[in-house]
Structure 1
């Protein structure tokens, strides 16, 4: 971060005449041709995690800024250019800030309303049907392999529990497989959701279930009725979900409008 602050100071001096830096905050010091402003001081404090800095900490950071500005001033006087990596870093940071600002502007123009939250709440309550399912499943990329395991269970070569134990042991780093605990219908891919609605407790689904993730061998260990949370309790989570959808929508729209041309990866 110290290097970034130093580069920012250097750019402040280098771009002062071109007008590409617009910092109208109070000038705290002028080091050669480089102004050290209140905004730069604020950034330096935040970069060090000193949001609530005391007088001594502020003075120490200010003194360090003066030293950095003095060195940056020498770089400006000597016409020392930023190297390719430094320029790329500044370009990347600018791109990130611009992307953040565009996204914030979009969310401000398209806020999630109380009516949106209430409508989504009703939709989720209707979709989950007040039920939760204790699901166990094995996921395979190869449908043939899934069929082979299902046939082995149905042929009493081994139980589902034994198949699951072997499956998990062979894939210790795979997540969301085996016993995935209690879930609601809304949390499951549509093919699994449709299958679960037809199943009884303790039942192995008679066919391999195909989804976008692969081929599933599905077992319903248990099922229960649950009282859904109130709208007030669920509101914050629903709002976050809806905002995430808006962010995803904006990202897709921005990418489409930009007419991306990938020249080389």
Structure 2
């Protein structure tokens, strides 16, 4: 498999300041390219599963690094290094690199604990409940319009047909289908309206939310299909990491003197 130029370029762009070693990959117009830089690109390409380490891959990376060094030298020669826009972008890139280093170190020292993951999973499980509901709705702009829809349904009109007039354009063409979901996925006033319905029944009165007036139908119910902890462990851990980082950032911003 040949490494596509675009992917190789991304890998090269991801490699930042590398330590200088005695062994060089090449020397371009007196400027050394350390072998460690190529090793870092190879490691990233292999880790991303693009292709295995091979002499062909290393030769391609060597050629690209030499070409980039030549272009860099020419860009500096023409003064792009001093361009205001370029300098601003370089400052932003430098800031990002340093912040990423701080974040990696913070997360290494403050990992998410197994107990925290389990606790978060239990909260999610409790919120999901033991039953899921398949719900449909028709959204009207006024209470009078919603009551008129309910009257038509009592007169024998099909819910799916009337749903085509719904102000919820995302579900109007699917019969007002809101799919399977737990009551906690909806505003409480909305979920309270359908949890007490019998299968196939429609709310007797319009349900008002900030979006308008809803006519709600319950298609069916089923036991909640909860994924096992191991299936969602990675997602929960990532979410908790983000919470930790947000709290860490918020704490520093609070202490900072901002004028």
Q: TM-score scaled by structure 1? A: 0.67
Give the count of matched residue pairs. 243
Query: In 2, distance between residues paired with 1:175 and 1:117?
Result: 39
Shift of 1:220: 1.6
CA distance in 1, matches of 2:12, 2:171: 43
Q: Over the residues paired in the alignment, what is the CA RMSD in angstroms? A: 4.3
Q: Is the 8 A contact 1:137 1:216 kept in 2?
A: no
CA distance in 1, matches of 2:12, 2:235: 37
Shift of residue 55 of structure 1?
0.9
Alpha-carbon distance change, 154 to 184 in structure 1, aligned in 2, over 3 angstroms: same
Question: Is this contact kept in 1: 2:161–2:175, CA < 8 A?
Answer: no
How far has the Cα of 1:152 moved from its partner?
Answer: 1.5
CA 1:51–1:4: 2 relative to 1, 3 Å: closer
C-alpha change, 1:56 and 1:257, in structure 2 (3 Å) is same
Question: 1:203 aligns to what?
Answer: 201
Match of 1:243 among 235, 238, 247: 238
**1:152 matched residue in structure 2:** 148
- The verdict on how the C-alpha distance between 1:68 and 1:126 changes in structure 2, with shifts beyond 3 A counting, is closer
8 Å Cα contact 2:133/2:221 also seen in 1: yes
Is residue 201–residue 220 contact of structure 1 (8 Å, CA) maintained in 2? yes
* Alignment check: 8 A CA contact 2:190 2:207 kept: no
Judge conservation of contact 1:204–1:220 (CA < 8 Å) in 2: yes
Aligned partner of residue 112 in structure 2, secondary structure? coil
Aligned to 2:176: 178
Listed as ranges, the gaps of 5+ residues in structure 2 are 1-5
Q: Using the alignment, how far apart are the partners of 1:176 and 1:86 within structure 2?
A: 50
Q: Secondary structure at the match of 2:81?
A: coil
CA contact under 8 A between 1:138 and 1:178: conserved in structure 2? yes
Correspondence for 1:108 = 108
Q: For residue 242 of structure 1, report the CA deviation from its aligned partner.
A: 4.7
SS at match of 1:195: helix
Alpha-carbon distance change, 209 to 235 in structure 1, aligned in 2, over 3 angstroms: farther
Shift of 1:47: 7.1
Displacement of 1:179 after TM fit?
0.5
Please give the secondary structure, in 1, of the residue aligned with 2:152: coil
Counterparts of 1:67-146 in structure 2, within 5 Å, are 67-76=67-76, 81-139=81-139, 145-146=141-142
Structure 1 residues 227, 43: CA separation in 2 closer, same or farther (over 3 Å shift)?
closer
Higher relative contact order (CA 8 A, sep 6+): 1
Q: 1:190 to 1:69 in 2, by over 3 A?
A: same
Could you tell me which residue of structure 1 aligns to residue 3 of structure 2?
none
